[in-house]
Chain A
């Protein structure tokens, strides 16, 4: 009896689902072009991932190359500096999360509080400028500022009677230099999404709050922040997926023989060990490892977000 009713219920939900899907048929049509894009340009090429388990030779092709199982992964994990490089990568990621991630949010809130429309646009248009300068330019400006051979900051230190600091070559200064440059280049650009989210807030909410006598900070806290929370969560989850993906070019340009023990990250290591030596399979295996770690973290973060009542990203 119970079994039968359950089956009937399942039958009913199934037919309901069919009905719903038919009702939403145009929605599926809308999704189709995008889906095709992902299938053709993302999923079809993914067969290339198999070279991580091969000794891939371009001239032999994927079909002709020899299978080597987990050899490349073993090489990565047994590399003498593996743990150091991994921890360097994780530390830089942590610094990104702690020092960089909140900055665009704060900056967006500050910009939003500028009441004169002209100045709001003016500041906004200035702070996002650095994003358009390549890392090559930013790092070379950094050199001019920081070098001991007549760099502006060291000259200042000397004028103040302080000793010069070897910013460029000392391991302890690498991370601060890195994160300051990241914030400087990306913070203004990062505000754009938040400003869009803030612009979507219903102004009546602020009116009402003001009627209740809420000050500026309380309005920010009780209206603005909750309204952009879902965007923050989505960006945070996406950021977490990039845990081992840290802007290769920037780090590579800052890297030198003196700071390598803190500055070598997975990407720069792969560049030296893999790509420059045509080690396609090894590079692919390292990429696979990075992706897998990112995937696990995204899934964990997404689940956590859902537990806290957020939508998550999937």
Chain B
């Protein structure tokens, strides 16, 4: 009994001592290559380009971008892109979820690579101050030298300008993809037409709740399913139909935030009535996107409003497994109380790319990098990065791309690059997607129609110091007040009080600054 623990201890001690030795050498072994490796992204390319003739030597480019898929894609696509563009690419993917932290720390420590993708327009807003400070290359003057880059849409480029100068390339997105996705089988069964105006939308939600659309004899269905998001959930889309401006609107020649407009209050009343009547999920203010989607795909809800009508594909996929007879369709032409049709529009980009001066040493290097993006905007490269290799990841049918049936292969090898292609089909010439689901085809038609009646955010390219500093915090006041109004916790007077607070805490300054910036 006495011996065993002691010998055990001796063993442990020796093992630990050995480990200490092993660790010390292992650590230094590891450290030395890394020291040079760490310096490589910034240091390697100038010295490398000195060796060989500049024309033949592939340009070395390090690219940092958010990862929106489960894992980083293998090199298959990248190798093809390198061949087509005469480059040597190093892609550094980082999870989108914590991308800001990575971006901030790399930025603050001067370790951003030559090509830096941001995450979205909000992140872009945060970088404005650094951009103004001259931390990134201004690329506007060079654009005309590149035939493909100069095809980028000027109205979207304008939205990404900082103090009138262009620093970034954009990843395009349709301007207005939102609308409703609804159960066409239910609507047909109850003899309801797609809602032509907001009143009919309300009636549809009511009928879907009360008239037992699934015919199981139980009152277990609801009309609209929404989630805890005012902007990308149902609220903003419906508010645009009511005629509420897109974040900011003009009244008597002055820019004011959306919640100061009567249409915003009408929208709140609309949702309040929906919720009070039980025509939407009661807990929507605490419902995540997954739970909202789940409610819809389980066949319990009739109308999904959130994000993009293009979601119909993935919603349909799970829904028909649970409810084989379900038929989905989309709809977006819903008139306001005044009979007008409107849609809110995003600024036309999903993300932008910046070129840090810490990594891109001179104009020549910048031009080489821009040349790579110029080639990315040829149909050949754009298709490769967006759709993959023809015949492997997709085939062309009727001039459109049909994704391979081997969805896993596509998911693994192509999707990581999809979100990084600059421009859009109209400018980079890549294939449109071949859709088979009738609802999805309808969605694509409506997206084109939506743009024609789109309402822009007039502040998209305007600066406000207070907004940059406190905008998110202040918006929280109004988001809370909006939910509280819908849930009946505060009335119109309470909502007005919230507006007063918003104004007092900094909103007045934002109004002033935006209006001044517009002059």
- In angstroms, Cα B280 to Cα A149, docked, is 9
Q: Give the residue of A60, A140, A257, A279 whose beta carbon is less than 8 angstroms from that of B290.
A: A140
- In angstroms, Cα B483 to Cα A272, docked, is 18
- Chain B residues contacting A256 (CB-CB under 8 Å) are 228, 285-286, 483
Number of interchain pairs (Cβ within 8 Å): 84
B108 lies within 8 A of A168 (CB):
no
Interface string of B279-295 (1 = CB under 8 A from A): 00111011110110001
Interface string of A180-199 (1 = CB under 8 A from B): 00000000000000000000
Q: Which of B4-12, B125-133, B188-196, B247-255 contacts A (4 or more CB under 8 A)?
A: B125-133
- In angstroms, Cα B284 to Cα A168, docked, is 10
Which residues between 118 and 157 of chain A lie within 8 Å of chain B, taking CB atoms? 140, 143-144, 147-150
A147 lies within 8 A of B473 (CB):
no
Can you list 27 A-B contacts with CB-CB less than 8 angstroms, sorted by A residue number?
Answer: A58-B107, A58-B130, A59-B108, A59-B135, A61-B108, A80-B505, A143-B287, A143-B288, A143-B291, A147-B286, A148-B282, A166-B282, A169-B283, A169-B286, A256-B228, A257-B482, A258-B286, A258-B484, A258-B487, A272-B472, A275-B100, A276-B472, A277-B126, A277-B472, A277-B473, A280-B104, A280-B108
Q: In the complex, how many angstroms separate the beta carbon of A157 from the nearest chain B beta carbon? A: 14
Interface string of B86-126 (1 = CB under 8 A from A): 00000000000000100010011000000000000000001
- Chain A residues contacting B331 (CB-CB under 8 Å) are none
With an 8 A cutoff between CB atoms, is B470 at the interface? yes
Q: Which of B283, B291, B471 has the most CB of A within 10 A?
A: B283
Q: Give the residue of A58, A275, A279 whose beta carbon is less than 8 angstroms from that of B108.
A: A58
With an 8 A cutoff between CB atoms, is B367 at the interface? no
Beyond A140-B288, A149-B222, is A257–B480 a contact (Cβ under 8 Å)?
A: yes
Which residues between 466 and 489 of chain B lie within 8 Å of chain A, taking CB atoms? 468-473, 476, 479-480, 482-484, 487, 489
Task: Give 8 nearest A-B pairs by CB, closest first.
Answer: A257-B483, A58-B108, A168-B286, A257-B480, A148-B282, A273-B473, A149-B281, A278-B126
Q: In the complex, how many angstroms separate the beta carbon of B229 from the nearest chain A beta carbon? A: 11
B489 to A, closest residue via Cβ: A258
- Chain A residues contacting B133 (CB-CB under 8 Å) are 57, 59-60
Interface string of B486-519 (1 = CB under 8 A from A): 0101000000000001000100000000000000
- Chain A residues contacting B470 (CB-CB under 8 Å) are 273, 277
| Chain A interface, number of residues (Cβ within 8 angstroms) | 28
Which residues between 34 and 81 of chain A lie within 8 Å of chain B, taking CB atoms? 57-61, 80
- Chain B residues contacting A290 (CB-CB under 8 Å) are none
With an 8 A cutoff between CB atoms, is A239 at the interface? no
A58 lies within 8 A of B104 (CB):
yes
With an 8 A cutoff between CB atoms, is B151 at the interface? no
Beyond A80-B505, A169-B487, A272-B476, is A57–B129 a contact (Cβ under 8 Å)?
A: yes
- Chain B residues contacting A80 (CB-CB under 8 Å) are 501, 505
With an 8 A cutoff between CB atoms, is B361 at the interface? no
With an 8 A cutoff between CB atoms, is A260 at the interface? yes
